[in-house]
Structure 1
Amino acid sequence: MHQSIPATNEIALVRSGSKRTLLQVLKDARERIQVNDDELDEARRRRDLLAGTLKSEFGADSRTYVNGSIAHGDALTPLTDIDLGVVVPNSDGSYGPYGRGPAELQERAAAAIRTAHKEEFPNLRVFVGGRKRSVYVSFGDPVDPNVADFSADVIVALDCWTGSGLWIPHYDNWDRSDPESHTGLVRDAAKRSEYNYSRTVRLLKHWARRHSKPLCSWNIKALGLDSLTDSMNQLDGMLAWFDYAIGDLSWRETPDPADVAGAISIPGDRAELVTKLSKARDKLADAISFEKDGYHVLAVEALASFFNDKDMLPPPETKAVTAQQLQRTADMRAARTSRVTVGDRPQTRNRTPTRSWAP
């Protein structure tokens, strides 16, 4: 069982003399990994360009949808891709699991994108085939100058006539999923939590990115739908997410929140994932406890160790960490000594001397 950690809203920095709380440190770190408005605007513009092209290609009865980090409000910098889909009319059932595969529709989408956008993006390349789900669009022109390219994953989908959701490509066949509902669920969670959900998910995605991606972004978001429902701050939010994720993944893979597709797969062993999450949770809990006890330098050092990214959250100087570790050790020793009072010592009775024999 995990040790209960108090809410962090009113934790003061007693010994550091600093006016910056751990929450302020975390806010600064979060702002370093979020995408700037210019990048977002350009990414959305390109997404809208592709959506318009797909709509024109597949007709008035088709519809497009958005998915992924930009649509969900949790994109990280550097921004490298967008996600969107087009739902193609299929009234005669020509396509689908009992009809033709997705290749023909994907080729149509790819050809339309090449024709419509090659002039604006001379280095545009569009790939079909050999991919699990998407038509891959490489713009050959990044929105972030620090990366080499910007891309789009385009899904060609069909309405599922046997239930809710869509049929989406799975190589040469089709899988059932519901990306439209997924986006709706995420956006609702963000609003209900006063956007703590989105901010916390962004931090958790960055943690995963710095720790070999032990679970995918969608799994992080799906677990957050049940654990990030309140308007808590991001320290408490991350702790709540870890507690929920550890408990849930201890006995199952995460179910599809839309109850359409199968469970969300994880890239490795589930028991090993739970162990990794538990260790990360303990580092986060240490940071919160250190601040509660007034050891701000140790709190920041623990939080920096948790994220493992010096550019996002630089750790304190080693000298300052060592000094506060020594101070904490001295404080703990003094506290133990002060607990040993007269009342704690073994008690003895007053004895009246007696003879061991009678005259």
Structure 2
Amino acid sequence: MSSPTTPFQPAKEVVILGAGVIGLTVAYVLSSSTRSKYNIKVVARDMPDDLDSQAFASPWAGANWSPIGGFEEKKHKREIVTFNKFWSMIPTGMVMALPSCVYYQTTDNLPDLWYKDLVRDFRVMDPSEVPSGAQGGVCFTTISVNPEVYLPWLKAELRARGVSFIRKRVQSLNEAAAFAGANGILVNATALGARSLIGVEDTNVFPIRGQVIIVDAPGVKEFVSFPLGTASVEGEATYIIPRPAPLGHVLLGGTFQEDNWDVSLDMATARGILERCTALMPQLASKETRILSHNVGLRPARRGGARLEVEWVDLSEQYSPALSPTSASIGRRVKVVHAYGFGPAGYQNSWGAAEEVVELIEKD
């Protein structure tokens, strides 16, 4: 006796708005084990190979794991998942294990820092190891990636899995829903774009301006910083991040300037960055050190923290035909999974956040 056949279920359309590290990682996780279940489109104005575009943050990121802010349970879970994933990718050469030192202006609670069990090889520094200008510090092993290599790799992997890429400046959820079809799902990974995306218009979204220098400094082998996520009154933040592939490339930072939309280069700031980083790591004064580029990017932050949740949007209530760029989708509800507002921690939240997004997509 033959068993009844399972009715054919056509692949569900999923449109991911945004091709930064969050959107790409969502597409990767979604396509990993459910290729036949979803037809995935990445729709974005800027693509992963637009590495000179200042219109999105991912090409300009520090792209390592750094202690940013204090303990938050949801963030901590995402970062554990992400750290472990990147750690497993070290044999590929795209990720490097990176010796690290983070300096503090106090010695209080250093043995019990919230991230001590997240990183590898955590220890409190001996007072003799702490440089002038700091009171204490910790050492550990972290990870580092290079966006110029990592983002194109993600895109190539996704293309091989059948994910399609559509270059399009989308102005509204209504316009995006037209790509998703009648029963499709939208993933809103538009970062700073969530502030102006019609139907979202999240005024809690704001930029944190980051200016850095990329140098070739083969003698620099460790990540060094003061705690990230805060800055001086002048908006300074000091950090040194070696990168894998090409070896010898090091990111020197930087600035942490909230609500600053300026993407132009400030040479006085650049001189300050070089001076502060050289004082922290004298090896940078070597004749071997060469400046390769000056970079400015806007970290996509959000007051109240990252938004990672489902919203059912009634397009008929959100739009009027006179104002919407397209009326193709008016008259239906659409499931939107929001995933934006990670600020300076996009890479180090990416894999954990992507798993949460996929759970929300699959949840009825």
- Normalization by structure 1: what TM-score? 0.22
Structure whose CA Rg is larger? 1
More strand by share: 2
More helix by share: 1
Higher RCO (CA 8 Å, separation ≥ 6 residues): 2
